[in-house]
Amino acid sequence: MTGGARTKVAVIGSGNIGTDLMIKILRLSDTLEIAAMAGIDPDSDGLARARRLKVATTHEGVEGLVRMDEFADVRYVFDATSAGAHRHHDEVLRPLGRTLIDLTPAALGPYVVPPVNGDRHLDVPNVNMVTCGGQATIPVVAAIGAVTPVHYGEIVASISSRSAGPGTRANIDEFTETTSSAVEEVGGAARGKAIIVLNPADPPLIMRDTVHCLVSTCEEGAVTASVEKMAENVQTYVPGYRLKQKVQFDPVRPGEPLHSLTPEGTGEALKVSVFLEVEGAAHYLPAYAGNLDIMTSAALRTAERMAAHRPAEGAAR
C-alpha cells in the first residue's frame, strides 16, 4: 500500500504504551495514518507530544474520541489503557463498526500473536494482543509444538520494575491468567502457566524471558531449527528480540515431579528450555523496556495486516 491511501487509526491511552505506539505509526508505517489520540489526563506527556506532532487529541477518553471530526474516517482503534477500561471502550466502539486492537489483558476478542496466528482473525471486531510475556514466549511454544506435542508450557517474563507502570501493576492477575490461556490456545500447549517478575535492579535490566516446554522424546535438531526460524520471524518487527543461548534439552524421567504432566505411558520425556531477551527500539520508551516495545510492535504489525487485507476505503459509518 506504499504510496496509496493509508488506513486511519486512533489510539486510546496517552501513557507509555499509547505514546510509543503513536510514534511507531508515525515513523514506521506505510499503511496506517494516526488520526487521533484520546486520553483522560489533559497534562499527560502523550497528549502533549501528540499535539506537537500535529495529531488531533482529546482528554475526554473514548466519549471525546467519538465526538471528534477525525473519528469519522477511523477504522482501527488501539486500546492502550487497562482491562477494565477496555470493556467500556468495546461497548462504545463496537456498535460504531470500529475494530479494536486491544493491548490490555481484557481478552474480549481472540488472542493474536503475529508470527503464529496473525492471519486468522483479520475480520473480527476485537483482537487481543495477549501480554508482553505472551508476545515474547508464545512464538517459541508454537515453534516447539510444530515439531512435537507440548504437554506443558511454562513461561517466566522478567521485566524492569521501572517499565511496569500503573496499568501493568494493576493487571498482574489478568497478566498471568491471559498469558497462561494463550500459551494453550495459541501456543498449542496442552497445559500452560505464566509467571511475571518485576526486577528492581538499578540500572534497569532489559526484558528477559524463559520458556520451559515438556515434550516426549524428539529430534533435537528439528526443534532447534524451528525455534531459531521463529526468532527470525519475530525479529522482522521486533529487531531487539533474540535468543540468549542454544536451545537446551534436559531429560525428565518417571518419578520426577514434572513427569506427572506427561500423558500416561510416555516413559522418558524432555524439558526444552529457551532463554530470550527483548531490547526495545527506544522510539519513545527506554531500550530496557522491551516488554512494552514488543506489545506496541505486535499491535502495529497486526493492524497493518488487517489494513492490507481490507484496503483503505473509509471507516464504517
Tell me the catalytic residues: 132
CB 73 within 8 A of CB 49: no
Q: Is 84 annotated as a binding residue?
A: no
**291: annotated binding-site residue?**
yes
Has 114 been labeled as part of a binding site? no
Is 15 labelled a binding residue? yes
Cβ-count burial 107-138 (b if 16+ within 10 Å, e if not): bbbebbbbbbbbeebbeeebbbbbbbbbbbbb
19 is in an annotated binding site: no
User: In the block, which residue shows the cell 513427569?
Assistant: 259
Which class for 209: exposed (0-12), middle (13-18), buried (19 or more C-beta within 10 A)?
buried
16 assigned to a ligand binding site: yes
Residue 165 assigned to a binding site: yes
DSSP state of 63: H
Rounded Cα–Cα distance for residues 111 and 182 (Å):
7
Residue 164 known to bind ligand: yes
Answer yes or no: is 36 a known binding residue: no
The CA-to-CA distance between both ends of the chain, in Å, stands at 23
> Is residue 163 part of an annotated ligand binding site?
yes
3-state secondary structure 257-295: HHHHHCCCCCCCEEEEEEEEEECCCCCCCCCCCHHHHHH
Q: Which residues are documented as binding site for NAD(+)?
A: 14-17, 163-171, 291
